[in-house]
Amino acid sequence: MYYRNRIDQVDFNGAKFNSFLYFDTISNRKNLKKSGQLIIELKVHLNPDNTVATVGPFADNNNMSFKTGAWPENVLKAFKKTYQLTGQGFWDRKFVLTNNSYSYFDLFFTQDKKGKLTDKTKLEVPPMITKATMVDGVLTEPDVHNYQIQHNIFFDNETNNGVITVHPDVVCRFILRLVDTAGEAHKSIKLSYFTHFKTQRGVFRPIAPFSPTYFRSDSEHYSQSDILAEINFFKGIMLVQNTHVHEIGHAIGLDHSGKVLNEPKCVTAMASGDQNANVCYGTTFKSASNILGRGNRLLPMNAEPWKHALKLMTKANAWQAKVL
C-alpha cells in the first residue's frame, strides 16, 4: 500500500512551509512501525548582497560596524552547500509522532509459515495525491481529512486469526530546498559578506573567509560566519550552536525556548516589549541548551510544526512527539 497527501503554505506561528504525508509499506516492509513519513519542505532564497565596502560601514543589531564586499564565488558556493546540507541534516528524522487513539492509519497483514507478509489493507481508489493549500491560515478544498476517512472505510478489517494489525508512527522529515528567487521561497535571507570589522579602538580589521565575524545575525540577515559553530556558556557549561540551524527553527515557526516554556524572566521581558530578550534564550539548562536557546539539543516541543501539519491533515489533536 502506498498513498500520500499534501498541504501547501501551511501557516504556523506566522511561518510558511509545505507539508507532505505518505505511508509506504512496500519499501518499509522491514520496519512497518515507521512506515509513516511527514515531510516539512522549507524553500529558502539566499540573496547575496554584493555591495562593496566603499559605501561605508554596516551596523548589526549590537551596533558593531562592518565593511561589506562582494562574495567570492567559491565562498558563496561553499556557504550555500554547507547551509543546505547541515540545516537539513540537523532537523531531518529527529522526531516521531504517535497517537494511540487514531486508527485511520492502521495497517493489516497476514503472515505465512515462512514469515512472508501480505498487505491486506485495501484501497478501493488508486494511490493519489490529495492536495490542499492554506490561504490566510484557512485550509482550502479538497479536505485532506475526508480522504483519510474514505481510505479507512475501505480497510479490509479481517478479524480471523493470523491477521496482524500495525499502528504506525509518523516520522518527522525535513527538506531544506534552496530556490533562485524570493517569489518561489517561503523565506528570503540577505547574505552579507564582511571584509572588515571595527574594533573598540575604532580600527577596521580584516576578516578572513569563514572566520568569526561576531556579526549578530537575525532571521533575515546572515554573514559568512553563520555556518560556523558558535560557543556559548551557561553557568560555566559550554554550549555549541550553529546560528543557521537555530534560525531555521524560527523559519518553521518555533519560538525561543524560554518563551515556549513560559520562564518567568522571559515573560517579564516580553511584557515590557523586548521580544528578543537574552533571557528568552533560556534561564535553565533545559532551555538554554535547546536549539532554540543557545545550544543544539532537541526537545519534544521542537516538533510542534510537524504536529501542527498533522493535526490539519487528520483533525486529531492528541499527537505526541518523541525525540529520536
How does residue 215 score in pLDDT terms, banded at 50, 70 and 90?
confident
Q: Mind giving me the DSSP string for 238-306?
A: EEEEEHHHHHHHHHTTPPPHHHHTT-HHHHHHHHTT-TT-GGGG-SSHHHHTBTTTTS-B--GGGGHHH
- How many angstroms separate the CA atoms of 311 and 320, rounded? 11
pLDDT given for residue 148 in this prediction? 41
- How many angstroms separate the CA atoms of 164 and 160, rounded? 10
Sign of CA dihedral 237, 241, 247, 250: negative
**0.75 exceeded by the pTM?**
yes
Length of the chain equals: 324
Q: Mind giving me the DSSP string for 85-128?
A: HHHHHHHTT-EEEE-TT--TT-EEEEE-TT--EEE----SS---
pLDDT given for residue 100 in this prediction? 81
Among the ranges 23-32, 104-113, 194-203, 264-273, which has the highest mean pLDDT value? 264-273
pLDDT given for residue 320 in this prediction? 94
How does residue 319 score in pLDDT terms, banded at 50, 70 and 90?
very high
1 pLDDT above the threshold of 60: no
- How many angstroms separate the CA atoms of 129 and 118, rounded? 24
Number of other residues whose CB lies within 10 A of the CB of residue 190 = 14
- How many angstroms separate the CA atoms of 138 and 132, rounded? 10
pLDDT given for residue 313 in this prediction? 82
If you average pLDDT over residues 174-201, what whole number do you get? 88
The pLDDT tens digits for 135-177 are: 665 555 444 444 443 333 333 334 445 677 777 789 999 999 9
The pLDDT tens digits for 216-258 are: 777 888 888 889 888 899 999 999 999 999 999 999 999 999 9
Give the strand pairing for 129-135 and 138-139. antiparallel
Q: Are 171 and 322 in contact (CB under 8 A)?
A: no
pLDDT given for residue 137 in this prediction? 56
pLDDT given for residue 142 in this prediction? 46
The pLDDT tens digits for 278-316 are: 999 999 999 999 999 999 999 999 999 999 999 888 888
Largest CA distance in the chain: 82
Give the strand pairing for 15-24 and 163-166. unpaired
Q: Give percent above pLDDT 90 in the chain.
A: 45
- How many angstroms separate the CA atoms of 242 and 225, rounded? 10
